[in-house]
A and B are shown apart, each in its own frame.
Chain A
Amino acid sequence: ETGVTQSPTHLIKTRGQQVTLRCSSQSGHNTVSWYQQALGQGPQFIFQYYREEENGRGNFPPRFSGLQFPNYSSELNVNALELDDSALYLCASSLVGQGNIQYFGAGTRLSVL
């Protein structure tokens, strides 16, 4: 196991709603990245947080936002859900200066109806 946990495991929402996904990083890891994995695709980078600040973002609209807390936990928030937001959302934690190896959680499966 990687020590990275995500909650909830599964979630069903309707279009237009808002959702918050949670991630608990491996102890001591100061960086968390979030990825969206559509069915049959590779993970797509959403953004990364380092020491509670966003320090990189992929090609996702502003309705995707995040937070990182001092206790190594983090959140991914998605507003105004669209059907295409249905996917597996993965977080990965890493430690800057230790090879930046990313360890993934098991993900949250989000279904938007």
Chain B
Amino acid sequence: GENVEQHPSTLSVQEGDSAVIKCTYSDSASNYFPWYKQELGKRPQLIIDIRSNVGEKKDQRIAVTLNKTAKHFSLHITETQPEDSAVYFCAASRGGATNKLIFGTGTLLAVQP
């Protein structure tokens, strides 16, 4: 069935270091891959997304890479700051009429000042 695996489940970095979170999806028909940041008690907030027709997308300190052959995609955060601390979720979707998102299990990122 449809499944998204996400690693690591927790990640602790020093302020200024880089953080990388990796996801693997099972549905080869997936073509849309968003990343959400969820702070404690708050809504999931879309931070970046990528579609299957590109291999990489960057927005300031955040970048996402996609390897369709391996069905892997990754989130890269550079120059981490304490306000980056949150739970990050990857997701995959086929798009189309029912664009349901299949989420990973989340990564708790802690940025130590």
> CA A92 – CA B97 in complex, angstroms?
15
Contact of A45 with B102 in the complex, beta carbons under 8 Å:
yes
With A90-B44, A106-B43 in contact, is A43–B101 under 8 Å at CB? Answer: yes
Contact of B43 with A104 in the complex, beta carbons under 8 Å:
yes
Q: Which residue of B lies closest to A4 (CB)?
A: B43
Kindly provide the distance from the CB of B32 to the nearest chain A CB, expressed in whole angstroms.
7
Q: Which residue of A lies closest to B91 (CB)?
A: A42
Kindly provide the distance from the CB of B111 to the nearest chain A CB, expressed in whole angstroms.
20
Interface residue count for A (Cβ, 8 Å)?
29
Question: What interface size band does chain B fall in?
Answer: 20 to 34
Contact digits for A70-113, partner B, Cβ 8 Å, 1 yes 0 no: 00000000000000000000101010100111111111000000
> CA A41 – CA B6 in complex, angstroms?
11
Tell whether B74 is near chain A: CB-to-CB under 8 Å: no
Tell whether A48 is near chain B: CB-to-CB under 8 Å: yes
Apart from A43-B89, A43-B101, list 15 A-B contacts with CB within 8 A.
Answer: A2-B43, A4-B43, A42-B6, A42-B89, A42-B91, A55-B97, A55-B98, A56-B97, A56-B98, A90-B44, A100-B93, A102-B34, A102-B101, A104-B43, A105-B43
**A-B CB proximity, top 4 nearest:** A56-B98, A42-B103, A100-B99, A45-B100
